């Protein structure tokens, strides 16, 4: 039972009905004309969501959210993920959701007022600036961007890419090295809030990913910080706390991603079944009569159910014991669920034949936009290492990456 919602099952049912009746019908336009074209409509939908009292489900009530637990929001997130625009309409989309979370947890009252409040209200958007083109993302110690103190300012220099949703954002939370000489390599970096109108901030360009540069929230940018000057108080949660906050942020963040994956997998299975039920190989003989398709459907059902239980189990662990305790569980789901998603999408495409590779269904969108799921927030290989390391520790052996 939810702490904050009287009848949680009914809530989920209502949200699902909303997703199917109000949002999925916007997909053809999204797929044909791009995110920018549907953005005005999405603002209306956001208003509708606010009116229904569903706004900001993942955040605490003190900033106007519903205060759902990780476990509860996981269940909701799966439903929102049926369509690429679901989370956006509820203001629980990455990277804003993560940014709101750490601002809420680590922000000063001033930071909250200036950055969190408008974000929570949906008046502005933000981005998170961590990955660097010249350093392997899987090794956090390899980071070149820096912030140096000068008077009452930080002077930030750096080169980042995959800064998601930078186009149209008001500020970035940038991960930069503030103490390059510390012995503790996990205390080298800090998170600093950089308004994007800061002088020296350079939007190099949107990265073309899988054939498109995208627009606004659905885009990933390369950016440069050229001697950007921001107040010292823009550091978030203390100097040297960058990695600690990132770890904290990544736990629930990966739960949300994984539940999104499950939602997309459910949608893919749904499209696969619909296609199988309606496409005729010969009069009266639908595709669903083919055993290969039946196998795919059965395997997708099994895999999705397994993944859901695994993710919700990790979510519960985070709710009860915190991110750190669930660290290995989170690594398990990150590689396991993203792999399942891509396999399910691929089979749904194959089931659709030529239509599967067109943009007449959302499958091609998933196929392209989610290939990164096995890479971002740690590639499969790194998460497998984390899990194996933990497992082997029980046998008295410590492996190194």
**Interface segment toward a second copy; rule CB under 8 A; list 90-98, 146-154, 176-184, 382-390:** 382-390
Q: What's the min distance (Å) between Cβ of 209 and a second copy?
A: 5
**Interface segment toward a second copy; rule CB under 8 A; list 4-12, 57-65, 185-193, 306-314:** 306-314
If one asks whether residue 302 binds a second copy (CB under 8 A), the answer comes out as: yes
- Please give the Cα distance from 4 to 322 (Å, whole number): 20
Q: What's the min distance (Å) between Cβ of 65 and a second copy?
A: 29
Calculate helix-pair angle for 242-278, 291-321, nearest 10 degrees.
150
Give 109 or 291: the residue with its C-beta nearer to a second copy: 291
Q: Which phi and psi angles does 51 have, rounded to 5°?
A: -65, -35
* Binders of a second copy in range 121-160 (CB under 8 A): 131, 133, 136-139, 141-142
- Please give the Cα distance from 166 to 126 (Å, whole number): 7
Q: H-helix or E-strand containing 235?
A: strand 235-236
Buried b (16+ CB within 10 A) or exposed e, 332-350: bbbbbbbbbbbbbbbbbbe
- The two tokens of residue 281 are 């190989």
C-alpha closest to that of 77 among 347, 315, 303: 315
Give 53 or 396: the residue with its C-beta nearer to a second copy: 396
- CB-based contact 196:172 (threshold 8 Å): yes
Q: In this chain, which of 289, 320, 321, 325 binds a second copy, going by CB under 8 A?
A: 289
Give 117 or 299: the residue with its C-beta nearer to a second copy: 299
Give 47 or 141: the residue with its C-beta nearer to a second copy: 141
- Per-position DSSP letters for 263-316, written without gaps between them: HHHHHHHHHHHHHHHH-EEETTEEGGG-HHHHHHHHHHHHHHHHHHHHHHHHHH
Q: In this chain, which of 72, 237, 356, 366 binds a second copy, going by CB under 8 A?
A: 356
* Binders of a second copy in range 207-266 (CB under 8 A): 207-212
Reduce the DSSP state of residue 207 to 3 states and report it.
coil
If one asks whether residue 279 binds a second copy (CB under 8 A), the answer comes out as: yes
Q: In this chain, which of 110, 233, 280, 320 binds a second copy, going by CB under 8 A?
A: 280
Q: In this chain, which of 19, 120, 228, 307 binds a second copy, going by CB under 8 A?
A: 307
Dihedral over Cα of 253, 258, 259, 260: its sign: positive
If one asks whether residue 18 binds a second copy (CB under 8 A), the answer comes out as: no
Give 60 or 371: the residue with its C-beta nearer to a second copy: 371
If one asks whether residue 276 binds a second copy (CB under 8 A), the answer comes out as: yes
Q: In this chain, which of 40, 181, 183, 394 binds a second copy, going by CB under 8 A?
A: 394
Q: In this chain, which of 10, 305, 321, 322 binds a second copy, going by CB under 8 A?
A: 305
Q: What's the min distance (Å) between Cβ of 63 and a second copy?
A: 31
If one asks whether residue 316 binds a second copy (CB under 8 A), the answer comes out as: no
- The two tokens of residue 307 are 């993944």
**Interface segment toward a second copy; rule CB under 8 A; list 103-111, 168-176, 242-250, 281-289:** 281-289
**What is the Rg, in whole angstroms, of the alpha carbon atoms belonging to the chain?**
22
């Amino acid at each position: 039972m939810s702490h904050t919602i009287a009848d949680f099952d009914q809530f989920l049912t209502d949200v699902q009905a909303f997703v199917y009746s109000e949002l999925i019908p916007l997909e053809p336009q999204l797929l044909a004309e791009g995110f920018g074209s549907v953005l005005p409509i999405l603002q209306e939908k956001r208003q509708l969501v606010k009116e229904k009292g569903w706004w900001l489900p993942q955040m605490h009530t003190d900033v106007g959210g519903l205060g759902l637990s990780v476990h509860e929001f996981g269940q909701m997130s799966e439903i929102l993920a049926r369509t690429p625009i679901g989370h956006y309409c509820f203001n629980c989309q990455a990277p804003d959701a993560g940014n709101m979370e750490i601002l809420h947890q680590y922000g000063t009252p001033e930071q909250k007022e200036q950055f969190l409040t408008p974000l929570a209200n949906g008046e502005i958007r933000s981005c998170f600036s961590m990955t660097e083109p010249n350093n392997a993302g899987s090794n956090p110690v390899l980071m070149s961007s820096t912030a140096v103190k000068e008077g009452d300012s930080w002077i930030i220099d750096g080169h980042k890419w995959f800064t998601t949703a930078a186009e149209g954002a008001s500020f970035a939370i940038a991960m930069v090295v503030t103490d390059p000489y510390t012995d503790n390599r996990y205390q080298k970096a800090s998170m600093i809030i950089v308004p994007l109108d800061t002088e020296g901030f350079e939007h190099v360009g949107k990265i073309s990913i899988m054939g498109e540069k995208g627009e606004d929230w659905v885009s990933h940018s390369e950016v440069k910080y050229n001697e950007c000057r921001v107040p010292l108080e823009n550091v978030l949660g203390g100097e040297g706390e960058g990695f600690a906050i990132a770890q904290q942020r990544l736990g629930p963040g990966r739960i949300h991603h994984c539940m999104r994956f499950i939602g997309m997998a459910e949608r893919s299975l749904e499209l696969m079944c619909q296609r199988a039920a309606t496409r005729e190989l010969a009069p009266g003989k639908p595709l669903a009569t083919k055993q290969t398709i039946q196998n795919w459907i059965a395997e997708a059902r099994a895999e999705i159910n397994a993944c859901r239980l695994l993710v919700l189990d990790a979510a519960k662990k985070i709710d009860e014991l915190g991110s750190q305790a669930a660290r290995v569980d989170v690594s398990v789901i990150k590689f396991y669920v993203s792999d399942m998603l891509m396999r399910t999408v691929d089979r749904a495409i194959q089931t659709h034949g030529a239509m599967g590779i067109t943009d007449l269904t959302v499958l091609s969108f998933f196929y392209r936009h989610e290939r990164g799921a096995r890479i971002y927030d740690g590639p499969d290989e790194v998460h497998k290492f984390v899990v194996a390391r933990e497992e082997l520790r029980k046998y008295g052996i410590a492996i190194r990456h």
